[in-house]
Amino acid sequence: MSLPFVDRAAGALPLHFVPVKGWRAWLKERSATHRAWLASNGVTGKAGDLALLPGRDGKIAAAVRVLPDAASLWDFGDLGTRLPAGAWRFVGATAPVDPTDAMTAIGLGLWRFARYRKPDTKPGPRFVWPEGADKARAIAAIEAISMARDLITTPAGDLGPAELAEAAQTLAKAHKARFSVIVGEELLKKNWPMVHAVGRASSRAPRLIDLVWGREGDPRVTLVGKGVCFDSGGLDLKPAAGMLMMKKDMGGAATVLAVASMVMAAKLPVRLRVLVPAVENAVSGNAFRPLDVVPTRKGLNVEIGNTDAEGRLILCDALHEAASEKPAMILDCATLTGAARVALGTDLPALFCNNDALAADLLVEGVRLADPMWRLPLHPPYRRALDSKVADINSAPNDGFGGAITAALYLKEFVPDDVPWAHLDMMAWNRVSRPGRPEGGEAQAARALFAVIARRFGRQAG
């Protein structure tokens, strides 16, 4: 993705940012011609107004964007698509939005999934880096989230477990990280039984992706992402409507790869590990069945309550492995339950966390960066819904109540209470286009997760 950002540009036109409460004062300083022009074009100082201002020669001389008094970075997200071609420079404060975040939003607003389309050669606007912007941090965020959006939006026919592993390997090579992958029957030999069970029915072999970066002595941070590259529902087959968007069921994996990309680009002083169980949940003669009992890496035997609740099954093996190193923090991301979407809609990932301090940090950064999430409880009495009469635990209750909570409680069985752990149950998809967030795959909460890692382990980030 080529970003339209430049260090300087001769003749760059001024792009004024004016808060709603400062509109009248700003307007008084304009010429009578400009005031009349704005009035005739219906620009009255409402939040979101964007207007071009003419020069004496009739050409565009400037532009103005009216910001809400409590602006977020997304108030800058449409500038790259609405302004005409040419160079633009910021005039006026972007506060309360950091200029780095403003540029990040512009870059994210320009993302389009273009794998199967001819490139758009039409010239667009260019933006001069504003004073105070952290160019490296903005570019790292744009590139990381764009990578995740591309992965999530790619059809499953072109992005299976092998291709997801290749994407992770490419990222590892770019940052000189250690990369390994366990494929197919080797999963059984190396004690990844759940990953194997869920993925074995597909002609595309399941695999466990493992990326490690950083110095051994630094604080350990482990990211775990659900990598179901397509989910048919298994033998508990989804209806067509439910299957339609299942190319995005690896959105959790793409999100943690985006977070990892930002962490490595920033060279944060952490020992980072990324675990992604990558599978296709398919149907064939050797598919796992409802009420099968399958062992886990931890040693617990699990009764399969529903083969369409496969994400928690592959995650439990990865979470147990993550916890075995006693990291300072485990963050997992997954497109796990429809119940979370019913409760919170598609824009708010559900946050479950066994550590109040970690949860508070995530919520604060989510609000600050307009990358929100909402905490739901790990309500202990609901654990009884996972009781099994034939195994140590059942993976999925059949009553349908509290589904996001019971899924999180299942995962909690594989993380000790003394290891800080947060689980995000997310949509990973923008259903409609909004400024900075075009329709398609989305690395929800990635910027907030990165900010918490940076805040906790020695460097300021946002």
* CA of residue 56 relative to chain centroid, distance: 46
- Among all chains, which residue has been given the structure tokens 């296709």? 280
Torsional sign, CA 30, 33, 36, 40: negative
The rounded Cα 1 to chain-centroid distance in angstroms is 18
* Cα–Cα separations (whole angstroms), residue 212 to 104, 178, 215, 290: 27, 5, 9, 35
Residues whose CB is less than 8 angstroms from the CB of residue 64 and which lie 6 or more positions away in sequence, other chains included: 15, 16, 17, 18, 26, 38, 43, 49, 50, 51, 53
E strand or H helix that includes residue 367: helix 356-368
Catalytic residues: 238, 312
Cis, bond preceding 96 (omega within 30 deg of 0): yes
Compute the distance between CA of residue 163 and CA of residue 458 in angstroms, rounded to an integer: 34
Contact indicator for 138, 106 with CB cutoff of 8 Å: no
- What 3-state DSSP class applies to 163? helix
Query: CB of 50 within 8 A of CB of 65?
Result: yes
Helix ranges (DSSP H) in 244-369: 251-265, 311-324, 338-344, 356-368
**Nearest residue to 65 (alpha-carbon basis) of 112, 33, 22:** 22
Q: Which two tokens stand for residue 356?
A: 């109040």
Q: Going by C-beta distance under 8 Å and a sequence separation of 6 or more, which residues neighbour residue 446?
A: 144, 145, 148, 255, 258, 259, 262, 371
CB atoms within 10 A of CB 82: 14
DSSP H or E stretch at residue 258: helix 251-265
Give the number of residues written for the chain: 462
